[in-house]
């Protein structure tokens, strides 16, 4: 089980990412736009605005965590579970459509 503080920190990052998503996206499209040629000083101002946003609002700082345990590693996107929890649930036949391999 992951620490509660780490799980709460991740939730806070998700909220920040949702809050600043449109601002970040609009600034990036303005910087990259080839239709309206911006001067170098305007682009640097836009980059400064982008860098002034909170770090935790960047989508790359998010981790996918296990739904049950909060484990940040070995997560399966389809189920939202970590590997060992997924394996236990498959053995107990709690996941429909998932079969265990036997050879």
Instruction: Give residue limits of the domains in the chain.
Output: 1-61, 64-103
Tens digit of pLDDT per residue, the chain (103 long)? 778 898 899 999 999 999 999 999 999 998 888 666 667 788 889 999 999 999 999 999 988 899 898 898 999 998 899 999 999 999 888 988 887 777 7
Q: Which CATH superfamily is domain 64-103 in?
A: Ribosomal Protein S14/S29 (4.10.830.10)
d(CA 20, CA 33) in angstroms, rounded, equals 20
How far lies 36's CA from each of 3, 16, 29, 32, 52, in Å?
A: 48, 30, 11, 10, 23
pTM of the model: 0.73
């Amino acid at each position: 089980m992951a620490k509660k503080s780490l799980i709460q920190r991740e939730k806070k990052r998700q909220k920040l990412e949702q809050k600043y998503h449109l601002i970040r996206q609009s600034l990036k499209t303005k910087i990259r736009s080839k239709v309206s040629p911006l001067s170098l000083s305007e682009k640097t101002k836009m980059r400064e605005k982008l860098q002034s946003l909170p770090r935790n609002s960047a989508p790359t700082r998010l981790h996918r965590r296990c739904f049950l345990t909060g484990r940040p590693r070995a997560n399966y996107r389809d189920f939202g579970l970590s590997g060992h929890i997924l394996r236990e649930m498959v053995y107990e036949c709690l996941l429909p459509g998932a079969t265990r391999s036997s050879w």
